[in-house]
Structure 1
Amino acid sequence: MSIRLYIGNLPKEEIDRQDLQAVFAEEGDAVTTKLIKDRKTGKCRGFGFLTVNNDEQADQIIEKYNGHLFKETPIKLEKALPRTKGEDNEDQAPKAASSSGSHPAPNINKDSNRREKGAKKSRRGGGGNRESSNTNADSDAIRPDPRWASELEKLKQMLAAQTTN
C-alpha cells in the first residue's frame, strides 16, 4: 500500500517537479513527487506530495529529509491525511496528521457559512430583498458555543431576575 507524504514550506517560485524529484533521487524510482502549482501563474503554491511504497519507508524518509534545504528553505515532511469526501482535487492544502497546536480547534458548523449547492449568486442587477430558503441556517447561526453555554444560561437568568424586579 502506498503512503502519501505532505511536503511543506516549498519556495513559492517557478520550480519543476524534476527539481523536487532530484532531492529524493537517492531513494530510487519507488518514490514519486507531485508539485502543486497555481493554475494562473504556474508558480509553486508552497506544498507538494511524495508517494512511497510502505509505512517504514515513509518514516525513514521523514526522518532523513525533514528540515532538508531545498532552494535555501528547509522543507517540512509529514504523513498526509487521507482525502475527505468534499475535496475534488489536491489543490487545497491538506492538514498534517500531527498538529503542532496545543489547543483543539473549535467545532464550527461549516454548512451555515456556505450557500446551498444549487444556489448561485446572480451577477445581474436587481439585488432586492432575498430570503433564504434554508431556515435551518438561521437557527444554526444563533447557537451558543457549547463551551460557554452554562455561563450564558447564568447570564440569562440574572437578566431575567433584573427585569422582573
Structure 2
Amino acid sequence: MSIRLYIGNLPKEEIDRQELQAVFAAEGDAVTTKLIKDRKTGKCRGFGFLTVNNDEQADQIIEKYNGQLFKDTAIKLEKALPRTKGEENNEEQPTKVITHPTTNNSSPTPAKENNRREKSSKKSRRGGGVRENTPATATSDDAIRPDPRWANELEKLKQMLAAQTTS
C-alpha cells in the first residue's frame, strides 16, 4: 500500500519536478514526487507530495529529510491527510445552522441555502430597474405574496403603520 507524504515550505519559484526528485534520489525509484504548480504562472505553490511504498519507509523518510534544505529553505515533511473527491468543501466548511430570532416559528436554516436565497433575491443591476410586461395596476392574483416565514411580522408592521397614519 502506497503512502503519500506532504512536502511543505517549498520555495515559490519555478521548480522542476526532477529537482525535487533529486533530493530523494537516495531512496531509489520507489519514491515518486508530485509538485503542485500554479496553472497561470507555472510557479510552485509552495508544496508537493511524495509517494512511498509502505508506512515504515514513510517514517524513515520523514526522519531523514524533514528540515533538510532545498534551495535555501528547510522543507517540511509529514504524512498527507487522505482526500476524497467531492468532499473537499464539506470537510473544510461544515454547514452551520442559523436561527432567525425575530420569527415566531424559528426553524433552523442551513447557511449555504440561506446564502443562495440572499444572492438570488437581489435585483439584477442590468436593465436599470425597468420591468417588462407589467400592467400599471396589479390585481390581487398578480400581486407578489410575502414569504410565509415573515407573514406574521409583516402583518404586525402593517397594523402599526395604519395606526400611525390614522392618529
TM range (shorter): 0.5 to 0.7
Q: Does 2:44 align with 1:34?
A: no
Runs (5+) with no aligned partner, structure 2: 97-109, 130-148, 150-167
- How many Å separate the matches in 1 of 2:126 and 2:83? 39
Which segments of structure 1 move beyond 3 Å, counting only runs of 4 or more? 113-116
Q: Does 2:6 align with 1:6?
A: yes
1:126-141 correspondence runs (5 A): none
Q: Deviations over 1:4-58 (max 9, x none)?
A: 0000000000000000000000000000000000000000000000000000000
Displacement of 1:124 in angstroms is 7.5
Partner of 1:56, secondary structure, is helix
Which structure is larger by alpha-carbon Rg, 1 or 2?
2
Aligned to 2:57: 57
1:79-158 correspondence runs (5 A): 79-86=79-86, 108-109=94-95, 112-113=111-112, 125=126
Structure 1 residue identity aligned to 2:40: K
RMSD in angstroms over aligned alpha carbons? 3.4
TM value normalised by structure 1: 0.57
| Aligned residues with identical type, % of pairs | 81
TM value normalised by structure 2: 0.56
Kindly tell me the number of residue pairs found equivalent between the two proteins.
Answer: 111
Partner of 1:64, secondary structure, is helix
Aligned to 2:75: 75
